């Protein structure tokens, strides 16, 4: 049995990995998770086989860390490898696996989304009502680093009583009392393993990191006027669903996040009565495990069984293909995009020539170009044979007299040192400032505090280098950051956002949706002096980037949909979000990636989330538990094992005779993926849509199919009546010519008022990445 590495999106979109030795130390603590499936048998009877196993462990003092019994059953305990293998053979056990270590993976963003939605659906103005920002009395559960309850974003002013469905608690802890919760922050829990008292964040739901506070306010913070990061991005900070309540489950500490704690948080959240669960967590690309050893997939499955909507971040390992994680079909998987706001830090060259750089700095140096400017490689010490370290400004590459009093232009092709760390090294040697060349980092607003650091594109870097080479005494300065609004094009897919296709699951299109995740301003712990700019107090709002930031945007939308349609299933809410997504930017052109290419469903799933479209989607694809169980059949599970996993099996359930990876294409999902289709071969899939609008309606199919594939929809008109709410249709895909490229298109059903769009991908070579 192998452990898995898991990321947690933190700070400026970075995925922080444990070194192998650190990972080994953390995973050698002897904790195993024993997963036993549903808490009741498929016949509805409570299960007691967990208690029988636990009784055999009583001889070991403090052996059991967590016990699960609400949405599913099992426990986490200190076990020897022999004990783990023995327990795995017990009849009621689904799996036993080492407790995985998880490492750490706004204001204007909501205004931008609302504007984009209004532009996209102008033909249906009735659906652009302001109700997207309400979400009254829904409860969003967040698994993260904790929360800073004093933030103004979590004030309960003018909020009504706590919803009666809430059964959770406000756990007291270090610097956190029951009065830290209110009618907005209605619940808080934390999860520590024995011996973790020295981690710095143990024994309290209080956020010692900032990430959880940021995520919570993005999803459901109340409107706060005048919020900014030291004057930048000033405006009214608000979450996507400010009427929602927040329940925080602190599952992370500075040394990592345990899978056993995440499972316990899922178990508690199910019993507590949350409506939505938001997780900016996931396995790093290539390490994601199959269902029975994946804590997030397990917990999410049982939450969805209980009617809870679960969304997770897609990961921060783009732009490489096959890096998307959290790909279970019951999870809404979220990619990251930019908004129409740029944090611009200009570089001024001699002759007052201005280069538009990026990043956030509050530098206090001369605004005129008076500082000598040099290229890193030109400062190479004589004894250095390879100038790549000097070109990249690797710490220790220069002698003090070579950089003192100067601004250094550096490449950024090494991944070991951040721009901030490079400048700190240069500053100790007397350098004035740093200009980094990197297309990807230019698009993301990294924070440099009071350090004079700017990031420029490779094109602009070449212009600066040309100026250096053609000028006898090149000079420059770096200006403090200003905010540029109505920036175009936007949205753009963030370079770090993980991409499809799925590494392990065939015929399932992931990610599902995209949302703002670049330079998002949201609440921050009020005592974080490390985030403070020199001479200023700690910021109350901070700017972060990552799929961690995009995930709570969708959580806020989902909470609003649930508040308006409380009887809708999680899959109906998911479908409403996906089928109403936006595919165009603020130039009314197709959304692009950071490299300028047209974004595909591997980049953005169904598209950019809409704030109003999901409220009235017209039709929805309901993916039932039976669909998810057939998915497990396709991955190798038999009925006996599924019987342990599911709370209840549909009548006469059995794995399909032809259950394999190809059968996943027939799951009633809002998107379609066909793999390994040969030239002149045809494959057929079936979908069923449910009318959630007026009784009488006729929808017509619009097919967007590129050359190379024929797509036929039968019937091409769907008639809905009061007595006929569900209608099925078939789609036949035929590859007309062989290609190594994946082919993307869409099928849209419209009745004149609503457009219900499903993206599709057809692969002629199994799981071939897009070229």
Cα–Cα distance measured from residue 576 to residue 756, given in angstroms and rounded to the nearest whole number: 8
Which residues have CB under 8 Å from 696's CB, separation 6+? 720, 721, 722
Q: Which residues contact 59 (CB under 8 A, 6 or more apart)?
A: none
Backbone angles phi, psi at 549, to 5 degrees: -85, -30
Q: What is the 3-state secondary structure (H, E, C) of 522-585?
A: EECCCCCHHHCCCCCCCCCEEEEECHHHHHHHHHHHHHHHHHHCCCCCHHHHHHHHHHCCECEC
Q: Which long-range contacts (CB under 8 A, 24 or more apart) does 363-367 make?
A: 363/433, 363/450, 363/451, 363/452, 363/453, 363/478, 363/479, 363/480, 364/450, 364/480, 365/432, 365/433, 365/452, 365/477, 365/478, 366/477, 367/477, 367/479
Contact call for residues 592 and 604 (beta carbons, < 8 A): no
Annotated catalytic residue within 111, 137, 144, 439: 144
Residue stretches of the chain with pLDDT short of 50: 1-28, 106-107, 119-133, 767-771
Domains of the chain: 30-98 (3.30.70.80), 108-340+491-538+547-615 (3.40.50.200), 342-479 (3.50.30.30), 632-666 (no CATH), 668-771 (2.60.40.2310)
* HSE of 432, CA atoms in CB hemisphere, 13 A: 19
Is 342 within 8 Å of 457 (Cβ atoms)? no
Q: Starting at the edge strand that comes first in sequence, how are the strands of the sheet with 347-349 ordered?
A: 353-355, 347-349, 475-478, 371-375, 407-411, 433-437, 453-456
The residue annotated as part of the active site, out of 151, 545, 548, 575, is: 548
CB 144, CB 247: distance < 8 Å:
no
pLDDT given for residue 43 in this prediction: 61
| pLDDT tens digits for range 360-376 | 999 999 999 999 999 99
467 to 88, 292, 392, 446, 476: CA distances (angstroms): 67, 59, 19, 26, 10
Q: How far apart are CA 482 and CA 345, in angstroms?
A: 7
Q: Is 207 a catalytic residue?
A: no
- Which pLDDT value is given to residue 378? 85
Sheet holding 717-720, edge to edge: 672-674, 755-762, 743-750, 697-704, 717-720
pTM (2 d.p.): 0.93
Q: Any catalytic annotation for residue 580?
A: no
User: Does 548 qualify as catalytic in the annotation?
Assistant: yes
Residue closest to 476 by CA, chosen among 354, 380, 345: 354
Residue 197's pLDDT is what? 62
Give, rounded to a whole angstrom, the gap between the first and last alpha carbons of the chain.
35
> Alpha helix (H) ranges present in 173-294?
211-220, 259-272
- The predicted pLDDT at position 42 comes to 59
**Annotated catalytic residue within 211, 214, 302, 565:** 211
What is the SS3 assignment for 204?
coil
- The Cα 338–Cα 333 span in angstroms is 17
Residue 272 vs residues 166, 250, 534: alpha-carbon distances, Å: 6, 15, 43
- How does 262-277 read in b/e, with b if 16+ C-beta sit within 10 Å? bbbbbbbbbebbbbbb
Q: Give residue 377's pLDDT.
A: 87
pLDDT digits (tens, 9 = 90+) for 421-472: 999 999 999 999 999 999 999 999 999 999 999 999 999 999 999 999 999 9
Tokens linked to 385: 């044979």
């Amino acid at each position: 049995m192998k452990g898995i590495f898991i990321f947690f999106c933190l700070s400026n979109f970075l995925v922080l990995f444990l070194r192998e030795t650190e990972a080994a130390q953390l995973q050698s603590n002897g904790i195993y998770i024993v997963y036993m499936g549903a808490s009741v048998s498929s016949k509805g009877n409570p299960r007691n086989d967990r208690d029988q196993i636990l009784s055999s462990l009583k001889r070991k003092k403090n052996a059991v860390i967590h016990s699960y019994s609400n949405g599913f059953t099992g426990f986490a305990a200190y076990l020897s490898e022999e004990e783990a293998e023995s327990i795995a053979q017990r009849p009621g056990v689904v799996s036993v696996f080492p407790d995985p270590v998880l490492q750490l993976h706004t204001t204007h963003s909501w205004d931008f989304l609302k504007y984009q939605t209004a532009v996209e659906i102008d033909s249906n103005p009735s659906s652009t009502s302001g109700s997207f920002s309400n979400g009254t009395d829904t409860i969003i559960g967040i698994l993260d680093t904790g929360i800073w309850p004093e933030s103004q974003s979590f004030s309960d002013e003018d909020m009504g009583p706590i919803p009666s469905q809430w059964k959770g608690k406000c756990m007291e802890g270090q610097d956190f009392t029951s009065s830290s919760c209110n009618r907005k922050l209605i619940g808080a829990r934390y999860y520590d393993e024995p011996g973790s008292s020295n981690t710095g964040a143990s024994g309290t739901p209080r956020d010692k990191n900032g990430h959880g506070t940021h995520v919570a306010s993005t999803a459901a913070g109340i409107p706060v006027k005048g919020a900014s990061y030291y004057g930048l991005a000033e405006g009214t900070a608000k979450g996507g669903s400010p009427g929602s309540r927040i329940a925080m489950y602190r599952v992370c500490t500075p040394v990592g996040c345990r899978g056993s704690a995440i499972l316990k948080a899922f178990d508690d959240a199910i019993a507590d009565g949350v409506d939505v669960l938001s997780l900016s967590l996931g396995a790093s690309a290539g390490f994601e495990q199959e269902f029975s050893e994946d804590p997030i997939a397990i917990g999410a499955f049982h939450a969805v069984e209980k009617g809870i909507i679960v969304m997770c971040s897609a990961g921060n390992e783009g732009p490489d293909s096959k890096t998307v994680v959290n790909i279970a079909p019951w999870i809404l998987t979220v990619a990251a995009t930019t908004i129409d706001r740029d944090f611009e830090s200009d570089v001024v060259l001699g002759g007052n020539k201005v280069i538009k750089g990026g990043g956030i700095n509050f530098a206090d140096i001369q605004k005129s170009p008076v500082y000598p400017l040099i290229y890193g490689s030109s400062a190479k010490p004589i004894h250095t044979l390879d100038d790549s370290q000097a070109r990249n400004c690797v710490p220790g590459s220069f002698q003090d007299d070579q950089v003192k009093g100067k601004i250094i232009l550096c490449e950024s092709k090494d991944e070991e040192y951040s721009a901030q760390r490079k400048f700190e090294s240069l500053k100790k040697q007397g350098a004035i400032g740093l200009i980094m060349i990197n297309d990807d980092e230019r698009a993301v607003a990294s924070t440099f505090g009071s350090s004079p650091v700017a990031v420029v594109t490779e094109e602009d870097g070449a212009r600066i280098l040309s100026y250096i080479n053609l000028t006898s005494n090149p000079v420059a300065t770096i200006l403090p950051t200003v905010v540029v609004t109505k920036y175009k094009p936007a949205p753009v897919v963030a370079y770090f956002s993980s991409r499809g296709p799925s590494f392990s699951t065939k015929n399932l299109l992931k990610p599902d949706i995209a949302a703002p995740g670049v330079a998002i301003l949201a609440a921050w712990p009020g005592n974080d002096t490390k985030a403070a700019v020199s001479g200023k107090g700690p910021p109350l709002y901070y700017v972060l980037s990552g799929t961690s930031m995009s995930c709570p945007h969708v959580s806020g939308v989902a909470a609003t949909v649930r508040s308006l349609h409380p009887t809708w299933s999680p899959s109906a809410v998911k479908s409403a979000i996906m089928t109403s997504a936006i595919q165009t930017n603020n130039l009314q052109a197709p959304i692009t990636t950071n490299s300028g290419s047209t974004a595909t469903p591997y980049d953005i799933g169904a598209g950019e989330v809409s704030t109003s479209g999901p409220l009235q989607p017209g039709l929805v694809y309901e993916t039932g538990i039976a669909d998810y169980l057939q998915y497990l059949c396709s991955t190798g599970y038999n009925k006996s094992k599924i019987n342990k996993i599911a709370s209840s099996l549909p009548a006469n359930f059995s794995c399909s005779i032809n259950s394999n990876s190809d059968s996943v294409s027939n799951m009633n999902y809002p998107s379609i993926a066909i793999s390994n289709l040969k030239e002149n071969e045809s494959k057929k899939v079936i979908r069923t849509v449910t009318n959630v609008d007026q009784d009488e309606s006729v929808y017509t199919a619009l097919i967007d199919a590129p050359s190379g594939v024929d797509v036929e929809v039968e019937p091409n008109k769907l008639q809905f009546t009061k007595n006929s709410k569900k209608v099925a249709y078939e789609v036949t895909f035929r590859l007309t010519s062989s290609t190594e490229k994946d082919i993307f298109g869409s099928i849209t059903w419209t009745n004149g008022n609503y457009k219900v769009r499903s993206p599709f991908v057809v692969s002629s070579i199994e799981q071939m990445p897009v070229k």
